[in-house]
Amino acid sequence: MMSTSYDKCVRCGSCVKFCPLFNAVGEEQYSPRGKTYLLQVMDQIEDDPELAKEFRQLLFQCTLCGRCSEVCSSDVDLLKVWHEQRAKAVQMAPEEFEYLDALRDALANVANIYGLDPEDRAIYWLDELEDDIPGLEDRVYEKGKTADTMVFLGCLMSFRGSQMDVLRSLFTMLEEVGEDYLVMGAEENCCGHPLYLMGDEKGAEDLRKHNRSVIENAQAKKVVTCCPGCLIQLREHHNLKNAEALHHTQYFDQKMETTPKYNQTKELAYHDPCELHRILGIKTEPRSLLKKLGVEYREMEASCCGGGGLLRMTDPGLSDIIIQARSAKEKLRDTVVVTACPSCREQLLASENRTKDIIELLADASEGGAE
């Protein structure tokens, strides 16, 4: 009886050419088959400390986009294999991952990835948006407040100025549909996704506990987030008893049977965030919203932007190559890339692509159709 799922890999190679890392580097060790093969022959090489070290590094040269799992016909849960192997790598040689300590320390000390004061979670965007969204300050959660819906912004959207337009659109639309909502604000911990991606389940759970209690105390029935990574944690790992975790595209698609038409003046392309469509299986709602908005768009290849799996931290050079190659291959220069993930947005903006979240299109349409 085989004990590990990577033993089931028949090394057929169907995953090789789908892998963004393989396409970026062009060498077999970066491909899912190459890595699985290395596991299958590990008994032949593990005595060599340099090779073992190189392998541990290689495990973090992956976007965890899940495309390999999707194409595998041999029932190998490759995503699970990569998660398990990452955890094992960090456990075996923590000194090799000291570059992740700053992130770990930040999450342990101030519960956000930037190491900023937790109170600042609701400072930057509140300063920027309170004139546009009257009463927004009252929407920030404090002990004793309750609401039907809790908005979980996540670290990127809480702290990054590049996300401000998405936030503005999100709040505009929540007001538009008359939702009874609160934003977790300073009471929001990181969802734990970065720690989950490095195999630190305990650290991730420590962060989740607080979120869980805040959501329960607020008596929220729904938790809405724009971030697919946060949604993985909220839906699959937070063990929320009374609240349903939703992506914002799901929420608004359910809430709005029809929408105003979007005044489209530019070519649009839709990029499916890997964690949203492949890992969470949310494919129809973003497209349903786009259809309601009446926009014409082309589907992009269901491939990674290069920003997943902590790759931006573990190997930013490779991450850049992936998005640059995609930009060239899919001719994105004259296109606005529509997506629904703050991490993909950062990646697209960093490579000088134009991008809009679906919620921005929705808000633009609701405000009169101006692009």
Name the site residues for another protein (rule: CB under 8 A).
1-2, 7-8, 10-14, 16-17, 26-29, 31, 33-38, 40-41, 44-45, 48, 51, 54-55, 58, 72-75
Least spacing, CB of residue 47 vs another protein, in Å? 12
Residues 6+ away with beta carbon under 8 Å from 187: 141, 142, 210, 214
Least spacing, CB of residue 85 vs another protein, in Å? 14
Least spacing, CB of residue 66 vs another protein, in Å? 18
Two structure tokens written together for 63: 């976007």
Question: Is the CB of 37 or the CB of 124 nearer to another protein?
Answer: 37
- CA angle, corner 59, sides to 58 and 64, nearest 5? 125
Question: Is the CB of 14 or the CB of 324 nearer to another protein?
Answer: 14
Question: Is the CB of 50 or the CB of 138 nearer to another protein?
Answer: 50
Question: Is the CB of 72 or the CB of 182 nearer to another protein?
Answer: 72
Two structure tokens written together for 64: 């965890």
Burial of 204 (0-12, 13-18, 19+ CB in 10 A): buried
C-alpha 321/C-alpha 347 separation (Å) is: 11
Two structure tokens written together for 163: 């996300």
Least spacing, CB of residue 280 vs another protein, in Å? 25
Least spacing, CB of residue 68 vs another protein, in Å? 13
C-alpha 170/C-alpha 346 separation (Å) is: 17
Question: Is the CB of 71 or the CB of 349 nearer to another protein?
Answer: 71
**Amino acid identity, position 116:** L
Question: Three-state SS across 81-138?
Answer: HHHHHHHHHHHHCHHHHHHHHHHHHHHHHHCCCCCCCHHHHHCHHHHHHCCCCCCHHH
**Amino acid identity, position 34:** G
**Radius of gyration for the chain, computed over Cα atoms and rounded to the nearest angstrom:** 21
Least spacing, CB of residue 346 vs another protein, in Å? 30
Question: Is the CB of 225 or the CB of 303 nearer to another protein?
Answer: 303
